[in-house]
């Protein structure tokens, strides 16, 4: 067995142990660096490089060479060519080359009943043509646009999959796939793509019955979106970033958000998927709810109290995050490593923890690469049980 294969076997085992609730040999390092950060680190132009997937291998190989990780370290969800082909309004390329999600309204307030009655037809006939200009056309043109977009999607993610497999074998990364799909929580789906932040906030107060019915109506579509086409293998995960809870009153969260979200999580867990939940902003007031989810969900925390999280959910679920990317931007190497030591002391005892930052560094200007290297190297070589 090659050195890389032996290393991959060890890394797969420690990630298996963590995700299944056992104490591993050491704390795994799963650092999700964005492709945009990686492009800039590799010395390429963010305004041009993401348009050509041929750059993906060069960019990722540079990250793999320079940054410690136990799992393939680069994440990518969106290439601009797909959205340009569709004429997207919900994902646009900013002036610096970074993909941005502006406020959009794909569903008018008087169309809730249409969504509730037949969500798929409403999305196809009303929402998509509003969010994607090039789908707002005659049937033949719309079909051609969809065909082009699907071809781009297949080619881009085919390239990502092939490169990920090749580099994982080369560098001995764990055999795992924690980001097979990224379905939204049902309430977030309605908020992000249909109504927008401002409108959904008004709807919750003015027409909560309609919101509740709409969120329930789209739930089966999101379950289908997250389900793999075949039986999931070990360490197959589905990624769910949560957006709206920090901006909701508890009574609204408990009525409109939690029931369908927990239904989706339970369905994925029963199917054998690891559910990786990104806890955006501060979710501390909802910890008792998350403690009710099926065992061994991964809770990726951005803000809050790590001691409280360990106490409330750390015996049932896997915790990651909490490490502030802002410190990687402003701190010294010593300060950055000391913060890692502090979090290890709190979160590592008893297992059910892997190391990651509170969020992915978005661009090269958001975190000092040398600080990132120092922290990842320290954890990778010193966080033994």
DSSP letters, 244-292, are: SGGGS-HHHIIIIIHHHHHHHHHHHHHTT-EEEEEEEEE-GGGHHHHTT
Looking at residue 235, its pLDDT comes to 81
Looking at residue 79, its pLDDT comes to 81
Taking the C-alpha atoms of residue 193 and residue 170, their distance in angstroms, rounded to an integer, is 39
- Inform me whether the pLDDT recorded for 2 exceeds 80: no
Looking at residue 176, its pLDDT comes to 85
State pLDDT tens for residues 11-59.
Answer: 999 999 999 999 999 999 998 899 999 999 999 999 999 998 889 999 9
Looking at residue 137, its pLDDT comes to 94
Q: At which residue do the structure tokens 């501060």 appear? A: 282
With both helix axes pointing from N to C terminus, report the angle between 208-226 and 196-206 in degrees, rounded to the nearest 10.
130
Mean pLDDT of the chain: 94
- Inform me whether the pLDDT recorded for 306 exceeds 90: yes
Between the CA of residue 18 and those of 14, 29, 31, 206, what are the distances in Å?
A: 6, 11, 15, 44
State pLDDT tens for residues 167-199.
Answer: 999 999 999 888 887 889 999 999 999 999 999
- Inform me whether the pLDDT recorded for 1 exceeds 90: no
Looking at residue 182, its pLDDT comes to 84
- Inform me whether the pLDDT recorded for 371 exceeds 80: yes
Give the predicted TM-score (pTM) of the model: 0.95
Taking the C-alpha atoms of residue 285 and residue 209, their distance in angstroms, rounded to an integer, is 24
Share of the chain above pLDDT 70, in %: 100
Specify the higher pLDDT residue, 182 or 112: 112
State pLDDT tens for residues 88-97.
Answer: 999 988 888 8
């Amino acid at each position: 067995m090659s050195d890389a294969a032996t290393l991959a076997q060890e890394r797969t085992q420690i990630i298996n142990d963590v995700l299944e609730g056992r104490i591993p040999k050491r704390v795994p390092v799963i650092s999700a660096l964005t492709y945009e950060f990686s492009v800039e680190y590799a010395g390429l132009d963010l305004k041009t490089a993401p348009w050509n997937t041929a750059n993906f291998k060069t960019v990722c190989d540079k990250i793999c060479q320079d940054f410690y990780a136990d799992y393939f370290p680069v994440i990518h969800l969106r290439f601009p060519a797909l959205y340009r082909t569709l004429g997207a309004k919900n994902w646009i390329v900013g002036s610096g080359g970074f993909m941005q999600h502006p406020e959009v309204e794909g569903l008018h307030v008087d169309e809730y009943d249409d969504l509730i009655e037949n969500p798929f037809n409403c999305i196809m006939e009303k929402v998509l043509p509003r969010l994607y200009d090039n789908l707002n056309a005659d049937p033949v043109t719309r079909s051609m646009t969809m065909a082009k977009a699907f071809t781009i999607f297949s080619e881009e993610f085919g390239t990502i999959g092939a490169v990920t497999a090749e580099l994982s074998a080369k560098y001995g990364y764990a055999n795992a796939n924690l980001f097979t799909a990224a379905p939204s929580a049902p309430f977030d789906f309605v908020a992000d793509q249909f109504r927008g932040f401002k409108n959904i906030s008004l709807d919750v107060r003015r027409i909560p019955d309609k919101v509740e019915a709409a969120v329930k109506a789209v739930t089966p579509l999101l379950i289908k979106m997250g389900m793999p086409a075949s039986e999931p293998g070990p360490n197959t995960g589905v990624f769910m970033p949560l957006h709206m809870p920090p901006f909701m009153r508890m009574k609204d969260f408990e009525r409109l958000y939690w029931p369908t979200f927990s239904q989706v999580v339970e369905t994925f867990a029963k199917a054998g998927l690891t559910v990786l939940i990104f806890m955006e902003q501060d979710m501390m007031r909802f910890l008792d709810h998350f403690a009710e989810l099926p065992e061994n969900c991964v809770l990726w925390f951005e803000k809050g109290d790590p001691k409280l999280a360990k106490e409330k959910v750390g015996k049932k679920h896997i915790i990651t995050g909490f490490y502030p990317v802002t410190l990687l931007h402003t701190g010294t190497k010593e300060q950055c490593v000391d913060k890692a030591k502090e979090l290890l002391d709190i979160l590592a005892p008893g297992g059910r923890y892997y190391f990651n930052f509170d969020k992915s560094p978005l661009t090269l200007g958001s975190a000092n690469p040398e600080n990132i290297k120092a922290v990842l190297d320290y954890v990778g070589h010193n966080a033994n049980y």
